[in-house]
Amino acid sequence: MSNVNHAGFFGIPTTPASTRSHARSVNLKYANKDSIYLSLQDRWNGVLSQMSIPQRASVNARLNDAITQFKRRHPGVTSFDDPNFRLCRSIRRKLTRVLVDTTIQRQLNISWVLSIIENFVAYQAMPIQVYEVPASEVPQKYNPSDDSCASWDGQHTAIAFWIIATMIFGQNPDDVEIPVVEYDMRDRLECRMTFLRNNSSLNKKLMAPIDVVSQQIYAVRLDGVEDPKWKEIAEKQFYLESVDLFMTDVKFFDQNEPGAITRPGDIADEKYSPELIRQFTVYANTVLADTPRPINTKELPIILGFLNMAKGSNITYTDSEIERLAYLCVNLFGADFDEDGVFWKKVGIAYTKWHSFHYQDMDEILRPGVKLNKDWPQGGTFFWHQLRQSWKDADGNSMRMPTLTIQSSFMPAKKDLFK
């Protein structure tokens, strides 16, 4: 499908400032004006080709294991035409021929049925998942026939179909056909186990934050969606692109590429405005200039948290001030926010000393243990105190500091900060 192209919509440079090539190639996917269609083979091979040799070797090893497991589960099956390879069939059934197996389906949630009707969009409706019911098992009141089936998943949608047909359209349910997918179930246990697996994480891969964010960006750029929240996310993406930063997930095997951000949920978080993300890109582009690396998972919340705290105090730092902050992080601890790195080791020492002093008068039995969580409350508190001591403007004066709003009694001693 072809639609609206929003490149440059927010007035952001379309040419990134750096040469983080992988980041640029990832971000280019959002620049397409049209749908991109690939065969199943090309989709698989295309993703594999972008992986490193060790990563491809790991995938191939797991693929071989998966093939072995598959053959063990389907002994003797050699083609899709084999009668023992029991795939479902897509068909249509009259509303009156669709029954509900109440021993398998959950108790009907009336509120959910009403929600389906309130938000109903025909092209989004899922087919009802059913299995064939022999006429001999159908109660006489339902006029047994050979085309009867029972829902083992989708009863709420099926009930919504029935209400729409009878109460909204005024149709005879015996004249209305709905889409169903018939599964070759041989007994109730197969239905039950499939129902459990399909409605849990065992069989259903829920969308990760990166999947949701990507869809929202595509929707704004390709489809012209005007949802304000989605447009903000798309604007944030433009800022990331401008300095060759990219959002990803460890499942894509590129989390170690320069400019990678593996916390897309933080980027999309409504509490961080597009302007705050733009400010973060100034910091990130500065610290990555001489040291190509991904954005550390502990780094993003600390920097964004501080910038957001400044916003709460009506302080907006200039780009040059943020660059000075970045240089300070590099000079003090190499901007190393890794959980095993210099920053957190220093936080740990300061926190342990503070803890010992803070609870010195408390009975040792009642004294809480030292617990370094390596999170925003502890790391952000230390970072704020560090900046108050070390962050200077071009004239050597202390920088404007926001009010420390973190709810924590932790207060590192000056001697325990970086010098």
Predicted local confidence at residue 303, as pLDDT: 98
pTM of the model as a whole: 0.79
Whether residue 175 is contained in a domain is answered as yes
> Has residue 140 been placed in a domain?
yes
Those residues with Cβ within 8 angstroms of residue 196's Cβ, 6 or more apart along the chain or in another chain: 202
Which is nearest to 236 in space by CA: 204, 276, 265, 205? 276
Looking at residues 369-385, what average pLDDT do you find? 93
- Classified as helix, coil or strand, 149 is strand
Q: Which helix (H) or strand (E) holds 132?
A: strand 128-132
Are 379 and 304 a contacting pair, CB within 8 Å? no
pLDDT tens profile 194-250: 888 887 766 666 788 999 999 999 999 988 889 999 999 999 999 999 999 999 999
Token pair recorded at residue 288: 């990555």
Ranking 138-147, 231-240, 332-341 by mean pLDDT, the lowest is: 138-147
Mean of per-residue pLDDT scores for the chain: 89
pLDDT of residue 4: 40
Cα separation, 132 vs 256, whole angstroms: 50
Highest mean pLDDT among 67-76, 80-89, 260-269: 260-269
Count up the domains in the chain and report the number. Answer: 1
Nearest Cα to 155, choosing from 193, 98, 115, 198?
98
pLDDT at residue 202, rounded to an integer: 63
Residue 350 lies inside a defined structural domain of this protein: no
* Cβ atoms of residues 294 and 262 within 8 Å: yes
pLDDT per position as a tens digit, 184-196: 987 888 888 888 8
Between vectors from CA 62 to CA 60 and to CA 68, what angle results, nearest 5°?
A: 105
Q: Choose among 165, 179, 173, 201: nearest CA to 129.
A: 179
pLDDT at 84 exceeding the cut of 90: no
Beta pairing, strands 260-261 & 246-247:
parallel
% of residues, the chain, pLDDT over 90: 60
Does a structural domain hold residue 206?
no
Q: What is the pLDDT of residues 154-163, one digit of tens each?
A: 899 999 999 9
Query: In this structure, are residues 152 and 129 in contact, taking their beta carbons and an 8 Å threshold?
Result: yes
- Proportion of the chain in helix, strand, coil states, percent, rounded to 5: 50, 10, 40
Burial (CB count <10 Å: 0-12, 13-18, 19+), residue 208: middle
Domain assignment present for residue 408? The answer is: no
Run of H or E including 261: strand 260-261
**Cα 374 from Cα 383, distance rounded (Å):** 12
- For β-strands 177-183 and 260-261, DSSP reports them as unpaired
Q: What local confidence, expressed as pLDDT, does residue 12 receive?
A: 41
Q: Between 384 and 10, whose confidence is greater?
A: 384
d(CA 213, CA 48): 23
Domain that holds residue 108: 89-183
pLDDT tops 70 at residue 278: yes
6 pLDDT exceeds 70?
no
Most trustworthy range by pLDDT among 97-101, 138-142, 197-201, 387-391: 387-391
**Token pair 């029954």 is at which residue?**
99
Position 97 confidence tier, pLDDT thresholds 50, 70, 90: very high
Amino acid identity of residue 130, one-letter, is V
CA 401 to chain centre: 33
Cα–Cα distance for residue pair 240/277, rounded to 1 Å = 8
- pLDDT above 60: residue 8: no
Rg (CA), the chain: 29
For the stretch 298-320, pLDDT in tens is 999 999 999 999 999 999 999 99
Q: Which amino acid is at 313?
A: S
- With tokens 């029935």, the residue in question is 162
Strands 98-100 and 246-247: unpaired
pLDDT at residue 15 greater than cutoff 70? no
pLDDT at 228: 96
Structure tokens at 108: 């009907």
How would you label 150-181 residue by residue, b for 16+ Cβ within 10 Å and e otherwise?
bbbbbbbbbbbbbbbbeeeeeeeeeebebebb
pLDDT for position 348: 96
Taking only the tens place, the pLDDT of each residue in 48-73 is 888 889 998 998 898 988 998 889 88
Per-residue pLDDT at 182: 94
Residue 126: inside a domain:
yes
Cβ(376)–Cβ(384) under 8 Å?
no
Instruction: Point out the least confidently predicted range of 202-211, 238-247, 261-270, 372-381.
Output: 202-211
Contacts of 62 (CB under 8 A, 6+ apart): none
pLDDT for the residue 42: 82
CATH number at residue 172: 3.90.1530.10
